[in-house]
Amino acid sequence: MTGSTDAQHAGARRAVPPVTAGGRTRARATAPLAAVAAVFTLVQLLLVGPGTGLGWDETVYVSQVGAHAPASFFSAPRARGVSLLVAPVAAWSSSTVLLRIYLAVLSGLALYLALRAWRDLFPVRVLALAGALFASLWVTLFYGPQAMPNYWVAVGALTAVACFLRAGAAGAGTDRAALAGLAASAALMAWMRPTDAVWAALPLLALGAARRHRRALPVLLTGLAAGAAEWVIEAYVRYGGLVRRLADGSAIQGGLGWHLAVVDQLRSLGGRTLCRPCTGGPPHPALTAWWFVLPLLAALGLVVAVRARRPAATALPLACAATAAFPYLFLIGYAAPRFLLPAYALVAVPVADALVHLTTVPRPSRRPAVVTLVCAGLAAHLAVQLAILGHTAGNTAAAHRSWSRTAAELHRRGIRPPCLVTGDDALPVAYRAGCSSAATAGPNANATDDGITRTARRVPVAALVPAEASPPRYARAWTSVPWGGGRLYYVVPGPRR
User: pLDDT tens digit string along 205-251?
Assistant: 999 988 766 789 999 999 999 999 999 999 999 999 999 999 999 99
Does one domain contain both 353 and 429?
Answer: no
> Where do the H-state alpha helices sit in 214-260?
216-238, 242-252
Q: Which of 359, 394, 429 is the last residue of a domain?
A: 394
Task: Count structural domains, the chain.
Answer: 2
Does one domain contain both 375 and 453?
Answer: no
Q: Which of 394, 422, 450 is the last residue of a domain?
A: 394
- Residue 458 belongs to domain spanning: 413-496
Does one domain contain both 284 and 324?
Answer: yes
| Model confidence pLDDT, tens digit, residues 346-378 | 999 999 999 999 999 878 888 899 999 999 999
| Model confidence pLDDT, tens digit, residues 269-315 | 999 999 988 888 889 999 999 999 999 999 999 999 999 999 999 99
Does one domain contain both 448 and 367?
Answer: no
From residue 210, alpha-carbon distances to 80, 194, 215, 313, 315 in Å are 33, 23, 13, 17, 16
Does one domain contain both 390 and 421?
Answer: no
What is the pLDDT confidence band of residue 496, given thresholds at 50, 70 and 90? very low
What is the pLDDT confidence band of residue 16, given thresholds at 50, 70 and 90? very low
* Cβ contact 284:270 at 8 Å: yes
Does one domain contain both 77 and 212?
Answer: yes
pTM of structure: 0.93
Instruction: Please report whether residue 407 resides in a domain.
Output: no
pLDDT average, residue stretch 124-139: 98
Query: What are the backbone angles phi and psi of residue 483, rounded to the nearest 5°?
Result: -160, 125
What is the pLDDT confidence band of residue 20, given thresholds at 50, 70 and 90? very low
Does one domain contain both 389 and 429?
Answer: no
* Cβ contact 384:157 at 8 Å: no
Does one domain contain both 427 and 307?
Answer: no
Per-residue confidence (pLDDT) for residue 173, from 0 to 100: 56
What is the pLDDT confidence band of residue 83, given thresholds at 50, 70 and 90? very high
Does one domain contain both 418 and 358?
Answer: no
What is the pLDDT confidence band of residue 444, given thresholds at 50, 70 and 90? confident
Q: Is the pLDDT of residue 7 over 80?
A: no
Instruction: Please report whether residue 40 resides in a domain.
Output: yes
Does one domain contain both 237 and 294?
Answer: yes
Instruction: Please report whether residue 73 resides in a domain.
Output: yes
Q: What's the chain's average pLDDT? A: 91
Per-residue confidence (pLDDT) for residue 363, from 0 to 100: 80
| Identity of the amino acid at 260 | L
Instruction: Please report whether residue 405 resides in a domain.
Output: no
Instruction: Please report whether residue 311 resides in a domain.
Output: yes
* Cβ contact 39:343 at 8 Å: no
Q: Is the pLDDT of residue 497 over 60?
A: no
Instruction: Please report whether residue 95 resides in a domain.
Output: yes
pLDDT average, residue stretch 399-416: 95
Instruction: Please report whether residue 441 resides in a domain.
Output: yes
Does one domain contain both 369 and 455?
Answer: no
Cis bond before residue 277 (omega within 30° of 0): yes
Instruction: Please report whether residue 475 resides in a domain.
Output: yes
Per-residue confidence (pLDDT) for residue 160, from 0 to 100: 98
Q: Is the pLDDT of residue 125 over 90?
A: yes
| 495 vs 497: CA distance, rounded Å | 5
Assign residue 93 a region: left if phi > 0, alpha if psi is -120 to 50, beta otherwise?
Answer: beta
> Residue 487: which H helix or E strand, with range?
strand 486-491
| 487 vs 217: CA distance, rounded Å | 57
Q: Which of 360, 394, 428 is the last residue of a domain?
A: 394
Identify any residues that bridge with 335 across adjacent strands, giving them in sequence order: 275
pLDDT average, residue stretch 482-491: 92
Does one domain contain both 457 and 372?
Answer: no
